[in-house]
Structure formats: C-alpha cells, structure tokens
Amino acid sequence: MRKTPVLLRQHIGWHFAKHWVLQGKRKPLDTGAEKILKSKGIAVCKPEDIINEKKESKKIEIVDCFDRPPPLDETHPNWHDEILLSYKDDNVLLEGLSQAKIITNTVEVRQGLPERIQSNELSEDINEAAKTIIMNSHLLDAEQKKLPKVKDPERPAWNFPRTYGITQGRRNKLITSKLLNLIESTSGHQLTKERYLFEDLFFSFPFERNGMLLQFQLSGDFVLTSSKPLSPISEESTENLELPDIYPVDPMITLNNENIYETRSIYPINPNIKKSHPHTLFIHFDREVVKNLFEEVVTDNQIFGRSLLKTFTVAASYARQKYGDDVKNLPKPVTLQSVQTDGRFFHLGVLQLNTLDLEGTRRNLWYQTPLQYLFDNCGYKVGRPRLEGYNSKVIKQLYGFYNSV
C-alpha cells in the first residue's frame, strides 16, 4: 500500500485563533500623550464612561381602549372589611343536601314529588321522539371539539388518547331545549300560551344568617315562567319540624370567603311582563366545572344540595322583588320546580318558600326525587348508533312539571 504524500497545508482558522490569543496578551505602551494632555488642562476620559452613558427612562402614560382593572386589595372600590360568604355555580356544599337545608331553613316532609304532579302515560310517538332527541343530543350533533382528558383513578399517570365530540355544555343545552320543545308541541295550546322560556338568567340573593353576610349568585340555564304563580303545595304548620343536625361540621363550611363584593338582590325578569312568575328552573351540571374544594368527586347528595340552593335563590329573589326587601314571613308562599341534569341523569325537586326569616321557627318545604337516569348507554356499537335502557318515567315527570298550575 503506497503512502500518500504529506501536504504542507496550514489550518488558517487555527492560526487566526492563536494569533488572537497572542495579541490579546499585549500590554499597551505608555506614549506620554495622557501626561501632555493633562499638563495643558485637557480632561482625559475612559472610553467606558462615554460608550456606556447612563440614560434615565421616563414613564409614559399609555391611554388604552379599556380601563385597567383595579388591584384586588384594599384599594379596590368594592373592598369591605366584613367577609362575605358566597355560593356560585361552580360550588358544592361539603354535606350536600343536609347543609343546604340548614342554610335555607328548609325541611323535607317526605320523599318523592307532591301528589298533585300527575305522570300520565305517554304515547309511542312521544317515546320515539324522546329517543331521537337523546340520540341527536349525544351522538348525531355536528359539533366536534376536544373533550376533557380521561382519567383512571387506578392509573393516575396513564395518558389516554384525546377524544373529540360533543361537549358537555352543548349536550345539556340540546337535550333540555329539545325536550321542552317536544313537551310544548304535544301539550294543550291554551297551556302553552301561558308559558315563556328564558335562557341564561342571573339571580342574586344577599341575606344574613347567624350574624354573617351571605350571598347566592347563581345562573338559571333555562327558566320557564308562567302568567300565574304556582299554587302552594301544603298549608300545614311547619314550626314543629326539625332541621338536620350535621354537628360538628359548621353549616357555612366550603362557602367562598370574599372581601371584594357588591351585595345586590337580582330577579332579572321585569314584574311588568305578564309571564314573569317563575314556574320551573332548569339547571345544567358539568363535572369539569362543578367541583369540590378538595378535588373529590361530586356526590349525589351534593347534587341534591345544589338543586335546593339554586331553587331557593330564584324563589327568594322573586319573593323579595314581589313583597319588598324587608319581608320575612311571606303573605303567600312561593312555589318553584327545578330540574338538574347532565344530559343523562335527572334530579327533580319542588320548593315551597314560606319565609325568608332563615333563623325563625317557620320552615320552607322541599320535595325531590332520587337521582334518575334517562338511559343506560348511548353510543356506537359495531359502527351504528344505539340507545340502551331508555327510561320513560323521567319524560312523564317532565310532562307533569310542565302541566302544573
């Protein structure tokens, strides 16, 4: 094997780097120029003083299109030293229904709905239409958005593939509006003329209890109103009925503590409107929004308490608008029905508001159903949409609510 001749070539980059290091070690020679300039009274400055000249920046006030929000401290215009205990749409109570009864001075006489709410048999056409509504709301709608992450408690670190489909809020809105449309179209024309449907209303009810200031600020996803208020359910005395006991738990636990607030009593429907009386409140439930403070799964009992507090807020704000801000024992009870759903489960309740004196002996009345499921499963099997375990009892009860007077 013949050896290749050595090429006498130089690496220019290497020589440049070595030359740079060598020149960097050279010391400047004293030429005597500085001494001559100082003798003639000429100032000599270091180059760093001229190159790195310090400049003072001036604060410029920029006028925005919108005013900046004030800081969330004592300088806020709505700051109060007194703490407000608030309950909002994303809250649940630790003790659920029992705690809600204590706060609202409400008792439950018996399980189930009042006897006056009739559940008549439904025709086959109505049942088929209800099944179609369920399929359209849960499977066949055109919305395709990224759904929340799937979590497995036994494998918390496992990342499941992200799925796309109909969001929880969309499903709730679709199934509620479509079922109401079905009920209205198959009910009597005279009864339908006495109803009106509002969407996304905001209610607020401030009050005092045990020397503490509370305020419920809640939304009504759908509010069905009527030209006449619902008649009272019971006229019996409630003074001998006892509230639940949750000792040693404080009845005000898990309510929000706020110093920045504005107390307002709001019933958003103008009393001059003919159909301003609340009839049925529809509440949407989304587990991604409604959560415990301690990141635990929301229980059925907490769902029941949420129904009671929302129904109480709407009924109490209506009573205060109708009878005045200082009313305690109502001249005539206010009755309101409520339906809470996540698209699959339905919880129905009826509240008879007798008093706004929440520390008195007179009680409010609450009736409710257990948690009921409209169907067992709605999904695709072998590539075909399929509905399993349809429960017509829920639709019957919704018809009974709509026909209540």
- List, run by run, the mean pLDDT of 10-residue segments along the chain (405 residues): 62 88 84 87 82 78 74 85 92 93 92 86 93 94 91 88 92 96 91 92 93 93 94 86 90 92 93 92 94 88 96 96 90 95 95 92 93 94 92 95 91
The structure tokens listed for 195 are 């109803």
For residue 155, the enclosing domain spans 79-402
DSSP code, position 155: B
Please indicate, yes or no, if residue 48 is contained in any of the structural domains.
Answer: no
Q: What is the pLDDT of residue 120?
A: 81
Integer Cα distance of 265 and 291 in angstroms: 26
In this structure, are residues 328 and 335 in contact, taking their beta carbons and an 8 Å threshold? no
Domains held by the chain: number: 1
First to last CA, the chain: 110
The pLDDT value given to residue 361: 87
Q: What is the pLDDT of residue 3?
A: 65
For residue 133, is it within any domain? yes
26 is a domain residue: no
Would residue 69 count as lying in a domain?
no
Consecutive H or E run containing 126:
helix 124-138
Whether 119 is in a domain gets the answer: yes
Give me the pLDDT at residue 67, please: 72
Tell me if 57 is assigned to some domain.
no
pLDDT for 4 equals 64
Q: Closest by alpha carbon to 315, among 360, 349, 273, 274?
A: 349
- For residue 163, the SS3 value is coil
The residue among 285, 311, 310 whose CA lies nearest residue 298 is: 285
Distance in angstroms (rounded) separating the CA atoms of residues 341 and 395: 13
Helix count and strand count (H, E) for the chain = 9, 14
10 Å Cβ neighbour count for 298? 15
Place of tokens 């709410």: 117
Q: What is the pLDDT of residue 1?
A: 54
Rounded-to-integer distance, Cα 228 and Cα 159, Å: 54
Distance CA 312, CA 213 (A): 17
- 335 in a structural domain: yes
Q: Looking at the domain assignment, is residue 369 inside a domain?
A: yes
Residue 141, judged by CB atoms within 10 A of its CB (0-12, 13-18, 19+), counts as middle
User: Looking up tokens 């593939």, which residue turns up?
Assistant: 161
